[in-house]
Amino acid sequence: MNRGQIVSVIITSKNEGRIISRLIKSIKSQTYEFKEVILVDNYSVDKTVKIAKKMGVKVYSFGPERSAQRNFGAKKALGEYLLFLDADMELTINVLKDCVEICYKDKKIGGVVIPEVSIAHTFWEKVKAYERSFYNESGDEVTDAARFFKKEAFVKVGGYDETITGPEDWDLPERIKKIGFKMGRVTVTIYHHERISNPFILAKKKFYYALSLNKYLQKHKINAFSAKTIYFLRPVFYKHWEKLLAHPALALGMILMFTLELLGGGLGYFVGRFKK
C-alpha cells in the first residue's frame, strides 16, 4: 500500500455543536496516518464551527444542502480518497486503513461501502438499530451505499447530484459503477448515534427526502414500486426471517416504523412529482 495517499474526510454539519467533537476525535484517532479533516458547515448559529476550528479542522461555510456541501468539500480536498460523514457518526479505529487497503488491492474499486451500526437508547432508536442489523448480515445490494470514494472516480462523474437530497447516497455509487468502477465492502464499521424520539421524526425525514425521489428513479429507470422504495419488498428481511421471530417487539415496531415512513415518503414522492 502506498502510505502516502491522503484520505480527505469531509463532514457536513448544521448546528451540531453538542456532538461534533466526538466524530472529530474518532477521525484523529484512526490508525491510518495520512488524512485531513474538512468541515463544511451550513451556517450554524451554535458552537459547531468554533469547536471544529479549535480541534484543528479546516472549516468552510457553504449550503444550501448536503449534496452541495459535499461537492464543495471535495473541491477543497487534497486527498486521493474522499470519505463523507454526517455529524452523528463515529469511526471505529481502522476504517480509513481498511478502506485504503481494499482500494489499493483492487484498482477497479471506485467506492467502498462501510457498514453502519446504530448506537441506540430509546425504543425507536433500537428499532432502527434492529433494521440496520439485517443489512449488515452479509451486505444488501438494495440498500448498500458507499461513502468512501477514489477522488478520480468521484470527479469523473461530477460528484453528487445537487438536485437530489436523500437518494443521492444511492445515486453517486450507481453512476460510478456505470463508468466501469465497482464497489467494495469492508467489515469495519461506523457507529451511527441515532436521534429518534418517535417514528414520526423518520416519517417527516422521508417526506423531505422523497421530494426529489422521482428524479432519482427516472434517472436510473427504477420502478416506483420496488425494493428501493418499499421496505416490505426487500428480500433481506425474508432471508433472515428467524430474526423477526426472535425479537417480536422490535419486529412489530419495525413494521409500524416502515408503515409511517412509507406514508411520509409516499406523500413526499407525489408532492415532488406535482411540483415538477
Q: What is the mean pLDDT of residues 249-267?
A: 97
pLDDT of residue 171: 97
Residue 137 has what pLDDT? 76
Q: What is the pLDDT of residue 1?
A: 46
Evaluate whether residue 178 is within a structural domain.
Answer: yes
pLDDT tens digits along 53-66: 999 999 999 999 99
Flag whether 268 is in a domain. no
pLDDT level of residue 275 (50, 70, 90 thresholds): confident
Q: What is the mean pLDDT of the chain?
A: 95
Number of structural domains in the chain = 1
Query: Cα separation of 100 and 96, whole Å?
Result: 6
Range of the domain at 110: 7-197
Instruction: For residue 61, tell me if it sits in a domain.
Output: yes
Phi then psi for 224, rounded to 5 degrees? -65, -25
Q: Could you tell me if residue 203 is inside a domain?
A: no
Strand ordering across the sheet containing 109-113: 58-61, 35-41, 7-13, 81-86, 148-150, 109-113, 182-185
**Pure H helices in 148-247:** 151-156, 168-178, 199-210, 213-219, 235-239, 241-246
Say how many Å lie between the first and final Cα of the chain, rounded: 48
CB–CB of 90/97 below 8 Å?
no
Answer yes or no: is 210 within a domain. Answer: no
Alpha-carbon distance 147 to 173, whole Å? 8
pLDDT tens track for 165-214: 999 999 999 999 999 999 999 999 999 999 999 999 999 999 999 999 99
Q: For position 64, which CATH number holds?
A: 3.90.550.10
E strand segments, the chain:
7-13, 35-41, 58-61, 81-86, 89-91, 109-113, 116-119, 148-150, 182-185, 190-193
Is 190 strand, coil or helix? strand
Specify if 245 maps to a domain.
no
Amino acid at 158: G
Is 241 a domain residue? Answer: no
pLDDT of residue 141: 86
Give the pLDDT score at 276.
61
Q: How many residues does the chain have?
A: 276
